[in-house]
Structure 1
Amino acid sequence: MATMRLLTASGLFLAFCALALLVVAIGTDYWYETDARRHRERCKKYASKRTDPGYIYISNQNLPLRMLPRGGGGGGGSPVSGGQPALLRAKREFLSPASAVESRCSRRYNSTATGLWRKCHREGFDQENEDLIFKGLLQRCTPVKYYYSSSNIPRNLPVNITKTIRQDEWHALHLQRMTAGFIGMAVSIILFGWIIGVLGCCQHNELMQYVAGLLFLMGGTCCIISLCTCVAGINFELSRYPRYLYGLPEDISHGYGWSMFSAWAGLGLTLLAGFLCTLAPSLHSPQTTTVHKPRQENGMV
């Protein structure tokens, strides 16, 4: 009996801690973080290099030089078999790293922290943004949109690329909705199971304690779906087409923040609480009482 009470109390305490961790993870904005300071410094150094006519900028990565092929396939110069793809591949290889750096620096990357509801500029990572935020010209945080908006699609793009971006926007929006929806369901189910478990402890009802454990396991399942969907959504955003619009340069560090790890910790405690609460009623052995029949029923006078 004492062991059952100890396991039930431990399961309810772990469920309460898991509930607190999940609420903290939902209310904070550090699920996914980027650090663009090294990229900014690299672009500033590239922009401040000498451009006067007497200075020649030579990069070691430009060597050896490659000549563009005259023809398409072999050395005959006939563009019948694969001429256009070979020419495009040669132009891509002939592109200097300096122009690649220039194209990457043409887009402004910020150090951000993204949560379920907001995307914020990280404090102290960019002095220019800090000055604009202090003057009121730039918002620290912008809300994450859970509805489709055509303003997210860049203008002046070909029709096929625009159609692809529109489809990817819908897919990313579904992943975001699943992440927020399932983690909300997980918190609700865990809270409901915790209330039932407390009532079961007060009334010494083993069935209620067992149901609370099942609810904890169900909430953990919803939490697993939410976190896996969040990871899939982040990977999908990084691999979207075209890459020059949605991909990140190699010198920008990015990864998951402490809010994500708080959610994973809450998931682990939830599953452990469900295991303890479902195990506790099975350890209780019911006491059997023997009922003695009166002598007249045993056939004795």
Structure 2
Amino acid sequence: MATMRILTASGLFLAFCALGLLAMAISTDYWYETDARRHRERCKKYASKRNDPGYIYISNQNLPLRMLPKIGGVDTVEPSGGTLLRAKREFLPPASAMESRCSRRYNSTVTGLWRKCHREGFDLETEDLIFKGLLQRCTPVKYYYSSANIPRNLPPNVTKTIRQDEWHALHLQRMTAGFIGMAVAIILFGWIVGVLGCWNHNELMQYVAGLLFLMGGTCCIISLCTCVAGINFELSRYPRYLYGLPEDISHGYGWSMFSAWGGLGLTLLAGFLCTLAPSLHTPHTTAAHKPRQENGIV
């Protein structure tokens, strides 16, 4: 009996902690973070290079490899005996590649379920615009379809692809917010049922609370997996120059995402403890003695 009470109380305490972690994750904006400081510095250095006549800018990081010419249609052989294999390579010159990357302004941002915000202290120009009131620190995440997100002056086939991707990304965002809201509601209801079961010493209510915790954990798993799939989908959308990130921009998941995963783990553990506790209780049965007349004694 004491073991059952300890397991049930531990499960309810873990479920309460899981609710706190999930509420913290939902109310904060650090699900996904980007850091564009290194990209900004590279673009500033490229923009400030010498452009006077007679000056030739050569990037040491993008120098092409030297290849020996063909003689009589046959590749020449190096003195060491190795044959150079010729491969057709298509790449932009270093200058035009840097111009295409720096033509779009990338900001250091944090993104949550409800807002997308500029990171404080990461860019002095952005901070100055925010201080002057010309730029908002945070913008709300839209959960409805808007054609204003689609760039103009694009070919019809590209516009159709972007419109379909917008609907798919919107569907993933809605699933993420909807399922994590369902998870919090189910866990809260299970916690109330578990507390009432402990108060009334009702084993069935405690078992139901454990099942509700496991159901809430399942909804939380769906929400977090959908969130990860949505972020990966956004980074791989077509065309890449509009939705992809350059290699020198670091990005990853923030502490809000890890808080949600921690709440998921505590929820599943609470469900396991609350469903295990009633099975450890052995009911005490008292033997009923028959009257003497029924035992054959007169």
Decide which moves more: 138-147 or 96-105. Answer: 96-105
Percent identity, aligned pairs only, is 88
Unmatched 5+ stretches in structure 1? 67-73, 75-88
Aligned partner of 1:2 in structure 2 is: 2
Aligned partner of 2:93 in structure 1 is: 96
Aligned partner of 2:28 in structure 1 is: 28
Amino acid at match of 1:178: M
Distance of 1:98 and 1:195 partners within structure 2: 64
Aligned partner of 1:165 in structure 2 is: 162
Is residue 52 from structure 1 mapped to residue 52 from structure 2 by the alignment? Answer: yes
Show the 5 A alignment for 1:71-86: none
Distance of 1:59 and 1:128 partners within structure 2: 27
Distance of 2:31 and 2:131 partners within structure 1: 25
Show the 5 A alignment for 1:113-262: 113-262=110-259
Aligned partner of 1:283 in structure 2 is: 280
Q: How many Å apart are 1:296 and its aligned residue?
A: 1.4
Distance of 2:121 and 2:139 partners within structure 1: 18
Amino acid at match of 1:63: P
Secondary structure at the aligned position of 1:289 is classed as coil
Aligned partner of 1:41 in structure 2 is: 41
Distance of 1:34 and 1:246 partners within structure 2: 13
Secondary structure at the aligned position of 1:108 is classed as coil
Distance of 2:146 and 2:222 partners within structure 1: 26
Provide, for residues 77-116 of structure 1, a one-character-per-residue CA deviation record: whole Å limited to 9, x for no partner.
xxxxxxxxxxxx76x33x2022111101000000000000
Q: How many Å apart are 1:63 and its aligned residue?
A: 2.8
Is residue 267 from structure 1 mapped to residue 264 from structure 2 by the alignment? Answer: yes
Q: How many Å apart are 1:54 and its aligned residue?
A: 2.8
Structure 1 contact 30–256 (Cα < 8 Å) conserved: yes
Provide, for residues 19-43 of structure 1, a one-character-per-residue CA deviation record: whole Å limited to 9, x for no partner.
0000000000000000000000000
Q: How many Å apart are 1:62 and its aligned residue?
A: 3.7
TM norm structure 1: 0.90
Distance of 1:5 and 1:105 partners within structure 2: 63
Distance of 1:188 and 1:212 partners within structure 2: 13
Q: How many aligned residue pairs are there?
A: 279
Is residue 13 from structure 1 mapped to residue 13 from structure 2 by the alignment? Answer: yes
Distance of 2:149 and 2:199 partners within structure 1: 54
Amino acid at match of 1:228: C
Distance of 2:56 and 2:124 partners within structure 1: 32
Distance of 2:161 and 2:200 partners within structure 1: 59
Distance of 1:10 and 1:182 partners within structure 2: 26
Amino acid at match of 2:127: E
Amino acid at match of 2:226: T
Is residue 63 from structure 1 mapped to residue 64 from structure 2 by the alignment? Answer: yes
Q: How many Å apart are 1:55 and its aligned residue?
A: 1.4
Distance of 2:225 and 2:138 partners within structure 1: 25
Is residue 110 from structure 1 mapped to residue 107 from structure 2 by the alignment? Answer: yes
Is residue 294 from structure 1 mapped to residue 291 from structure 2 by the alignment? Answer: yes
Q: How many Å apart are 1:181 and its aligned residue?
A: 0.2
Structure 1 contact 62–96 (Cα < 8 Å) conserved: no
